[in-house]
Amino acid sequence: MRLLGPGSGGRVVPGSGLNASATPVPIKPGKIAVLSQSTTISAAGRTAGRNKPLVAIHCGRLAAVDATDGPLRAEDVFQAALRRAGWVSVDTLGALFEAVEAMARVRPQRGDSLAILGNRHGPGRIAAETLLRAGGRLGDLSPATLRHFEKRLQTRSHLSNPLALPPGMRADGWAAALSAMLADRRTDTVLTVCPPSPFVASDEVATALCAVSRPSQHKVLTAWIGGGAMLHAQRIAAAHGVLSHDSPERTITVFLGVLNCRRNRDLLIQMPPSFAADFPPDSEAARSVVGEALTAAGETLSARHTRRLLQAYGIVVADTPAAPSIDAALLAAEQIGYPVDLALLLANGAVFDETAGSLPSPAAIRIPARDLRHRLRAQHPARRVTGYRLRPNGARSGPRRCASASPAMPSSARSSSSPAARPATRARAAASSPCRRSS
């Protein structure tokens, strides 16, 4: 039993005569399926994408922009997941219907280049520039094909792709030119750009082009420039299964969308190698690091072990200087620049989770360093401090770190404080310490 939940648009299966939906518009049987408002279709779509082209329109870009100010948005991740699952993503409903029409009509894509045929220089060049701006590739016509056109057009001018026919070219001339292009082994897909001509009816050109396209294994696209005057020609092409649009820009957008669909599906069925060819990891060094960490019986890897493990897998790690004393730590902080983060180094590779972060000056280092040592003694009396490690402070994801240290007490105040006041001073300093346990 299939159930439709509340708020559902319903279920329609035109081929079986089922219309369990609220739509008042009759839907004809066809080769296109529509699934909307589903948050769990990615896994199923990845499986279906191996055999069928999938097109998605996603409403959420504005919310994604408002929700994050980082370098990587949730929308970027979503689009990458769609591509990896073999989907094609579009931005508008118009583009959605154009994409599904293209994928339902066109023949399988043979290559990624496009040959353009027009009856004037201007429209063909506009189409070529549109293709190149969008990242597409113009095909190279073979020398034999170029010699054929030079002879047929009776010209000594240098011919190339896009190819411009004379404005007075008749319908049979269009058909012969398209046939010559499709016979070229270098041709993948052909786009014909047809503006209105006073010498031949556009309906005749459409009929002639469709007659050549029908038996060919290559894909033929058509663009009819001229608005309503070219509408009948578009309908003739569509009736013969040839994709047709009212501008070369829209036609090229559809062409690139189909091309991206093929690339995404190729990516979907690829099996990545276990190891990259140019990536020789040092497995012995990695095992040695993990063995040392297990022997130390720590809960997490120390900074030294982490750095060595990453280096074993070819990941460059910025060096964070270790200092044996607080004075050496101050010198190291001057070298790497403020603000800095401060952590304790313990004997035998032991780990202490707390750090002091965003320390802006030498005076701001001493009190947090002392607080870290006090907290270590209170929590782990048997552990011994062997030094300090500093690194440049920066925005990072991961465990929570300390806030900026409180301003250091002026030296005059420190020298004038009495011994009796020192315990209270230590208590106030501990209470306001920037050190917190990472969680």
Mean pLDDT (whole number) for 277-282: 78
Residue 191 has pLDDT above 90, yes or no: yes
Specify whether the CB–CB gap between 246 and 215 falls below 8 A.
Answer: no
201 and 262: one domain? yes
- Where residue 276 falls among pLDDT bands split at 50, 70, 90? low
- Where residue 278 falls among pLDDT bands split at 50, 70, 90? confident
User: What pLDDT does 121 receive?
Assistant: 84
User: What pLDDT does 439 receive?
Assistant: 37
Q: How do residues 313-326 score in pLDDT, each as one tens digit? A: 888 776 677 899 99
Tell me which of 101, 129, 150 is where a domain ends.
101
- Where residue 287 falls among pLDDT bands split at 50, 70, 90? very high
Residue 225 has pLDDT above 70, yes or no: yes
User: What pLDDT does 370 receive?
Assistant: 92
Residue 228 lies in a domain: yes
122 and 223: one domain? yes
Q: Which residues of 317-326 are buried (b: 16+ CB within 10 A; e: fewer)?
A: eeebbbbeeb
117 and 204: one domain? yes
What pTM does this model have? 0.53
User: What pLDDT does 46 receive?
Assistant: 64
374 and 425: one domain? yes
Mean pLDDT (whole number) for 136-157: 89
Q: Domain range spanning residue 75?
A: 31-101
Distance CA 332, CA 328 (A): 6
Smallest CA-to-CA distance from 199 within 242, 228, 169 is with 169
91 and 125: one domain? no
Q: How far is CA 413 from CA 409, 410, 419, in A?
A: 7, 5, 13
Q: What angle do CA 190, 194, 196 make, to 5 degrees?
A: 175
- Where residue 175 falls among pLDDT bands split at 50, 70, 90? very high
Residue 255 sits at φ, ψ, to 5 deg, of -60, -45
User: What pLDDT does 413 receive?
Assistant: 34
Q: How high is the mean pLDDT of the chain?
A: 78
Residue 114 sits at φ, ψ, to 5 deg, of -130, 130
- Where residue 207 falls among pLDDT bands split at 50, 70, 90? very high
Smallest CA-to-CA distance from 369 within 431, 319, 326 is with 326
Residue 56 has pLDDT above 90, yes or no: no
Distance CA 207, CA 11 (A): 39
Tell me which of 51, 72, 101 is where a domain ends.
101
Structural domains of the chain, count:
3
- Where residue 47 falls among pLDDT bands split at 50, 70, 90? low
User: What pLDDT does 425 receive?
Assistant: 41
216 and 167: one domain? yes
> Higher confidence at residue 376 or residue 259?
376
Max Cα-Cα span within the chain: 109
User: What pLDDT does 431 receive?
Assistant: 38
Residue 264 lies in a domain: yes
Residue 242 has pLDDT above 80, yes or no: yes
152 and 56: one domain? no
Distance CA 15, CA 91 (A): 29
- Where residue 263 falls among pLDDT bands split at 50, 70, 90? confident
User: What pLDDT does 235 receive?
Assistant: 92
Q: What angle do CA 94, 97, 99 make, to 5 degrees?
A: 105
Residue 37 lies in a domain: yes
125 and 256: one domain? yes
Tell me which of 72, 101, 130 is where a domain ends.
101
Among the ranges 33-37, 182-186, 420-424, which has the highest mean pLDDT value?
Answer: 182-186
User: What pLDDT does 397 receive?
Assistant: 38
User: What pLDDT does 399 receive?
Assistant: 37
